[in-house]
Structure 1
Amino acid sequence: MTSREIRQQYIDFFVKGHGHSYVPSSPVVPHGDPTLLFANAGMNQFKDVFLGLGTREYNRAVNTQKCIRAGGKHNDLADVGKDTYHHTFFEMLGNWSLGDYFKSEAIDWGWKLMTEVWGLPADRLHATVFEGDDADGVPADDEAAEIWSNYLPAERISRWSKKDNFWEMGDTGPCGPCSEIHIDLTPDKSGAPLVNADDPRVIELWNLVFIQFNRTADASLESLPAKHVDTGLGFERTCAVLQGKSSNYDTDVFTPLFDAIRDVTKTRPYGSVLEDPIDVAYRVIADHVRALTFALTDGAHCGNDGRNYVLRRILRRAVRYGRQTFEMHDPFLHHLVPVVVETMGDVFPELTTNPQAVIDEIHEEEQSFSRTLDRGIELFEEAAGRGGESIDAEDAFRLYDTYGFPIDLTTLMAEERGMAVDVEGFEGLMEDARQRSRDVGGQADALESLVNIVQKSDIEATAFVGYETTSIDDARVIGVFAQDDEGHFEATDSPQAGQVLALVTDRTPFYAEAGGQIGDTGSVRAAGGTVYRVTDTIKVGEVYFHLGEIESAGGGALGSGDPLVMEVDADRRRRIMAHHTSTHLMNWAQRQVLGDHVHQRGSLVAPDRLRFDFSHNQAMSVEEVVEVERLTNAIIDQDLAVYTASGAQEDAVKINGLRAVFGEKYPPRVRVVSVGVGLDTLLGDPDNAEWPTRSIEFCGGTHLAQTGEAERFAIISEEAVAKGIRRITALAGEAARQAEADGQALLGQLDGLGDDAGDDLPQRVNEIQDAINQAMIPLATRHQLRERLVALQKIVKKQQKKQSKSAAADVVGAAQKIADQADGAFIVEMIEEVDGHALRAGMDVIRKKCPDAAVMLGSATGDKVAFVAAVPDELIKKGLKAGDWVRDVAKVAGGGGGGRPDMAQAGGKDPAKIGEALDEARRIAAAALG
């Protein structure tokens, strides 16, 4: 039985035999779920249903889900290649009941598929069930055990603790007991003691999760009103069992890749030996190229943060195996991508959309890593060559920060040299980077508590009226929640001034953060005079939380049912709308200039700016930026109407030229924002060739009524944020006009500078350079300014060259004086305030007059220290080497360096230590030369 047949039989069993809807796999990059690096289970796309925050048109589902487990809580990366069954990328076959069937059907169907359809021997199957937990007050799952007893003898039904047989989504949220199906592959069917022992002779195939409880913020459990089933069947493991293989990697899932690896690397065929280095490399490379191909196809990129860094580590791990085991010094991994596309593109058609982009990125990353690896090794060798027993924290951090060496790679390289790494110091230097993650985690904790409030209470949905108005006078309080010291929100009947609160009302004009647009701010007034200042608005499901605090306490409290006057900061909302509508216009203009391959990959719409991430493989030229600005401003100047209307998604998606955000999930009814033409007209003639010349998008945000209200648009910057992803920051309205005015003012400052400028020209150029770097001005104007600065900097260099010649003459004079007074085997002196170039000029003078002496010169300029050293051959034979000498001296001044035995240079960071450093130079020379 082939892997294709196994996959299809599973899907057909549930679709044709048991009324399930086939739901395509969600992307392996979980858009809109910041809690996950990658989709690591089939249930990820149904989390909102389990949380009670969403619904589906079906209540039975089946699919094969693309999963990656690398990084984060579920991380199999270190195990891949070492055994027969771990993967970073894998498929998870799954079937779900969304409030429909429960334990009896799930177990019965699982048994029939395995034994009747696939013909697995019943006497080799084992089932596990939950043994219960007194602390949680959850009894043993006797119901599941009783159902299993219809198929299995008691000795093959085992009970296990919460660790193995109780599934939880997170610290809070839906959870429940699970029942696993294991298969005994021992020759004599003696594997009962090996169940849950992580032994390849008894493998877990299928996990049936019965979601029936909710874990609350106080860690207690409560029953869910709707019970669900969530199952997961490892596809690669199942193929191995049904094909009679002892390893997942021996199945037809991997053989095409192994054949391709053999052809590309010109090595021997895969041998299926567990610990053989070549076979380990085969498994690693095959697994990793699958993970990379799927992740890059679904919108991830290799980079330095989060999931992007995990992908970069996966790629570099594969490349290292290729280089060390197969001696592949040229890029090779990208040649394997077409094999993944060919073997899996029919099941996951997204692989076929643009495989060349995946090939190109992997190729570029391979080339980049070769350069990075070589430079990093040089730095490592320099650090290791300084002596000592460990690599210091600064070097380890530089290897990580500059060259992308994970700390575990640096540690491994150090161990090979018999050295350690100052990991504790390294972690200290990483603290700033981790602070950002901790901040995000703190926000996540607060959001999680609000999710828990919605989930465990019957709090009613909030009616949003903010499209029509920014103020209402008939809202009523539904609930007030106060934040505690740990960031969690709890209901309160007596909110106090100074507390961070979350206010819920029956209706609201406040827009909650969504789709890149930030939440509204404003004020809420109670009948008794209490004023509540809203600093942010967020939405959980359909419940709006107005975050803020009491600004002034009047005669009345914010009690449940109290009438309220709610007023959005209308000026701030207007500026947000100007930036949001301008985002749509710019998105349209980009496609006109760059092409239809451009897709939105993220955005931020704020009152003071917009940020727009888009797919594009190279930097925009200044000319392209200017043209996007021109087209956007042309639509603004036309003062076209901006239409917003809702319609059926299945009809709206047929509109020619309509744009949607990559990876975003849209409901059955969608809101369409279109410029210059209304939705009814669009739906009446969806194939019209004119529509791609219009801005038409799905969007739930707030917008201007006319494009002219945006006034003006200016692009401030365009930069890379990841491989194949660019970011534009832009301004609209008065902010754009101010940016243009500021840019013209800086151009005016440059007009008066030229060849006749005085000695203060360098200072004035530096001041304008600093102003340009700090100013919020159009990118095109910034380019003009920098072009003019280049011309001025040439004039500055001419002036500095003249000054340098004068300084060099002074150094030569000082050097001649040092040489005239020299007496002995070595000369160590300081020359005041000159750079390394001038020191070398002085060194040439001294060596010419004193060719038999070892010479070291030092100087301090500003916050920098420079040293140069020269040692003649006769003194090198006595043990004094210029490279070692200058390196040890520079350490005293907080620096380093080195070079040849006869000539070397170094730098330092502590000018106050230059005297002490030169004393050390004299001591070293005296000790070596007697």
Structure 2
Amino acid sequence: DLTQDALRQRNISVDLAGFANAMEQQKAEARKSWAGSGEAATETVWFPVREKNGATEFLGYETEQAEGLIQALVRDGKTVDSAAKGDAVAVVVNQTPFYGESGGQMGDTGLILGEGFSIEISDTQKKADGLFVHLGKVISGTVNTGGTVELKVDHARRSRLRANHSATHLIHEALREVLGTHVAQKGSLVAPERLRFDISHNKPISPDELEEVERMANEIVVQNSPVSTRLMSVDDAIAEGAMALFGEKYGDEVRVVSMGTGLHGAKANRPYSVELCGGTHVRATGDIGLVRVVSDSAVAAGVRRIEALTGEAARKHLDEQDKRLKAVAATLKISPADVPARVEALLDERKKLEKELTEARKKLALGDRSPSGVPAENETIAGIGFLGKAVSGVSPKDLKPLADAGKKSLGSGIVVFVGAGEDNKASVVVGVTDDLTARFSAVDLVRVASAALGGQGGGGRPDMAQAGGPDASKAEEAIAAVKAALEAA
């Protein structure tokens, strides 16, 4: 219309028929670009539905129940006029309170009821630029297009989604305050049972930082302040400090969600969290109940993933942790408050005992008797001092210290220790004293031993090398193979 008005002043007419024809061709080309197999082929069904009926009107910000008119039914990727009991079906209505999955928030579930039929909705998706598609199963009767229906969102599930979505806003702002304004949301998942979102941050978040983030978020929760929503232009919203989220597409008019009042620093007495958001939210921050941050992990370079719980899920999580702590305290026969100190003392004691056990095993391996029960005597092979032993109960990491001790006891010579693991796999270490490394390489000798154990390879230095093999029962053969290599040199 504006084009026509502008051209009319120049006495230029518009070819409306040509325009309509060109527009139809463009739409046809767009549909072709989606042609394919599998999901891509299924998606093409929504374009003609969108062209015929227009976008779905979303009523879910204000209500969880509404009436509507069935505009289309899709079964097995094709539009149909009706669907019977047991059919998996996608339903499009003119208006809906069901939220379609977007912005990280999962789609609503619930019921669609009509005269003589009912449909259980398991998910709601957005298709073809504004079409809300209700995915479900006909549980009774026969559904026909054109029928009037009542749509009922699962209230309990929606309430949990609202709380989790609002909590992401509070945690996001708290992270920016604690870690810095470089923090930006890079993706999210708002599910009924938990929330998860990714942020830009280049190092792990410390326990103290996470604790402060959680404390600040709950500080706003207990305010129980109203959550306000305003419609405004994108430019005006950003000018007022609203944050736009990564990957989101915004129209000319956006919803700006504000919640809480800041209590500290530059945020004092100002709106705490202000974001552009099309999701559903709690009426007041107190409806969130409780925020509990449960984990921080890395998902990519410079991206951290935060996971949290709210409300009843958070309470259950804390209750389970409390039960575990009490169970540990009961086992140790102490009070829960004393558990951390007692566990630390037990760990210190274990380290001390492990060290003592390692020393005892080392002395046993170096000392009194060989595995055959014959008194351990240092041998001489081809004029070279030699000590070879198969040992058990010694971890692979302790074989090198054992070899160092063996080299020291020999003064000059070559030592071989083969350790057997619980899985019958073997580890072997060869040590060569410094005066012999010009003639013999521990790397070459350990490879000979490894081959006898059914393995291959090995590595290290000329004076110390380590390898492994799958058959610890051949430990004596590995030692004999090294002896043979010395004799052949």
- TM-score interval w.r.t. the shorter chain? 0.7 to 0.9
Structure 1 distance, partners of 2:390, 2:298, is 46
Q: Which one of the candidate residues 377, 381, 391 is aligned to 1:820?
A: 377
| AA partner of residue 668 (structure 1) | D
Q: 1:216, 1:452 within 8 Å by CA — same for their partners in 2?
A: no
1:480 pairs with 2:73: yes
CA deviation profile, 1:659-679 (whole Å, cap 9, x unmatched): 2214533211111212259xx
Structure 2 partner of 1:469: 63
Shift, 1:922, TM fit? 3.4
Q: Following the alignment from structure 1 to structure 2, what is the Cα–Cα distance between the partners of residues 844 and 669?
A: 75
Return the offset for 1:703.
Answer: 0.9
Aligned to 1:638: 223
Given the two structures, how large is their TM-score scaled by the length of structure 1? 0.43
Q: Which residue of 1 aligns with 2:166?
A: 581
Deviations 1:9-53 (A, max 9, x none): xxxxxxxxxx9xxxxxxxxxxxxxxxxxxxxxxxxxxxxxxxxxx
Distance 1:786 1:716, change over 3 A: farther
Larger radius of gyration: 2
Q: Give the letter aligned to residue 481 of structure 1.
A: V
Q: Aligned pair 1:703/2:281, yes or no?
A: yes
Partner Cα separation in structure 1 for residue 124 and residue 144 of structure 2 = 20
Q: Does the 8 Å contact 1:843/1:855 carry over to 2?
A: yes
| Cα distance between partner residues in 1 of 2:375 and 2:137 | 73
Identity of aligned residues (%): 35
Q: What TM-score, normalized by structure 2, do the two folds share?
A: 0.77
Separation in 1, partners of 2:167, 2:235? 27
Residue 800 (structure 1) aligned with residue 354 (structure 2)? yes
- Whether the 8 Å contact between 1:828 and 1:856 is mirrored in structure 2 is yes
SS of the equivalent of 1:518 reads coil
The offset of 1:867, in angstroms, is 0.9
**Residue 473 (structure 2) aligns with:** 915
Partner of residue 555, structure 1: 141
- Residues of 1 paired with 2:352 and 2:396: CA distance? 19
Q: Please say if 1:606 is aligned against 2:191.
A: yes
Report the AA paired with residue 453 of structure 1: V
Is 1:453 the equivalent of 2:45? yes
Residue 103 (structure 2) pairs with residue 515 (structure 1):
yes
Counterpart of 1:860 in structure 2 is 420
Question: What letter is aligned with 1:534?
Answer: S
Does the residue aligned with 1:215 lie in a helix, a strand or coil?
helix
Q: Any conservation in 2 of the 1:521–1:537 contact (CA below 8 Å)? A: no
List aligned pairs for 1:65-144, cutoff 5 A.
Answer: none
Offset of residue 479 of structure 1 = 2.3
**Which amino acid letter does the alignment assign opposite residue 376 of structure 2?**
A
> Structure 1: which 5+ residue stretches go unaligned?
1-18, 20-98, 103-173, 177-210, 220-441, 484-488, 678-687, 758-780
Partners of 2:260 and 2:285 within 8 A in 1:
no
The structure whose residues are more often strand, as a share, is 2
C-alpha separation between the residues in 1 aligned to 2:171 and 2:30?
Answer: 47
User: Out of 533, 536, 545, which is 2:133 matched to?
Assistant: 545
Aligned partners of 1:450 and 1:540 also within 8 Å = no
Supply the AA of the counterpart residue of 2:480: R
**Letter paired with 1:914:** A
Deviations 1:370-391 (A, max 9, x none): xxxxxxxxxxxxxxxxxxxxxx
Structure 2 contact 381–483 (Cα < 8 Å) conserved:
no
Change beyond 3 A, Cα 1:904–1:479: same
Q: What corresponds to 1:926 in structure 2? A: 484
CA-atom RMSD, angstroms? 4.1
- Given that 2:111 and 2:152 are in contact with CA atoms closer than 8 Å, whether structure 1 keeps it comes out as yes
Q: Which moved more, 1:717-726 or 1:733-742?
A: 717-726
**Match for residue 313 of structure 2 among 705, 725, 735:** 735
- 1:652 Cα deviation from its structure 2 partner: 3.2
Matched residue, 2:90:
502
Q: Counterparts of 1:32-47 in structure 2 under 5 Å?
A: none
Measure how far apart 1:807 and its partner are. Answer: 2.8
Q: Could you report, residue by residue, the CA deviation over 1:144-193 in whole angstroms, capped at 9, with x for unpaired residues?
A: xxxxxxxxxxxxxxxxxxxxxxxxxxxxxx989xxxxxxxxxxxxxxxxx
Match for residue 32 of structure 2?
215
Q: 1:885 to 1:523 in 2, by over 3 A?
A: farther
Q: Is the 8 A contact 1:658 1:692 kept in 2?
A: no
**Number of aligned positions between the proteins:** 454
- The secondary structure found in structure 2 opposite 1:738 is helix
CA shift digits 1:834-888 (9 cap, x unpaired)? 224654565467657777875432122334632112357898788x642123235
**SS of equivalent to 1:513:** coil
Change (3 A) 1:905 1:453: same
Equivalence for 2:250: 666
- State the secondary structure of the residue aligned to 2:117: coil
C-alpha distance in structure 1 between counterparts of 2:408 and 2:306, whole Å: 58
SS of residue in 1 equivalent to 2:210: helix
Query: Could you say if the C-alpha distance between residues 668 and 890 of structure 1 is closer, same or farther in structure 2, counting changes exceeding 3 Å?
Result: same
Change (3 A) 1:928 1:619: closer
1:689 positional shift: 8.6
**Distance across 1 between alignment mates of 2:117 and 2:422:** 61
User: C-alpha distance in 1, partners of 2:415/2:120?
Assistant: 75
Amino acid in the other structure paired with 2:32: R
- Whole-Å separation in 1 of the counterparts to 2:306 and 2:328: 27
Structure 2: how far apart are the matches of 1:703 and 1:751? 41
CA distance in 2, matches of 1:651, 1:841: 70
The whole-number CA distance in structure 1 between the counterparts of 2:63 and 2:405 is: 82
Give the counterpart letter for 1:490 in structure 2. Answer: K
* Structure 1 residue 700, shift from structure 2 partner: 0.9
Secondary structure of 1:705's partner?
coil
- 2:207 is matched with which residue? 622
Change (3 A) 1:802 1:605: same
- Equivalence map 1:309-708=2 (5 Å): 446=39, 448-457=40-49, 458-460=51-53, 461-472=55-66, 474-483=67-76, 489-493=77-81, 495=83, 501-550=89-138, 552=139, 554-556=140-142, 558-655=143-240, 657-662=241-246, 664-675=248-259, 692-708=270-286
Task: Provide Cα deviations, 1:559-586, integer angstroms capped at 9, x if missing partner.
Answer: 2223334322211111111111112222
**2:151 maps to amino acid:** M
| 1:505-559 Cα deviation digits (max 9, x unpaired) | 2222211111111111223344333543424534431111222334x3x332x32
Unaligned runs of 5+ in 2: 1-6, 8-18
Q: Read off the aligned partner of 1:833 and give its amino acid letter.
A: G
Name the CA shift for 1:799/1:497 in 2 (closer, same or farther; >3 Å): farther
The SS at the match of 1:694 is: strand
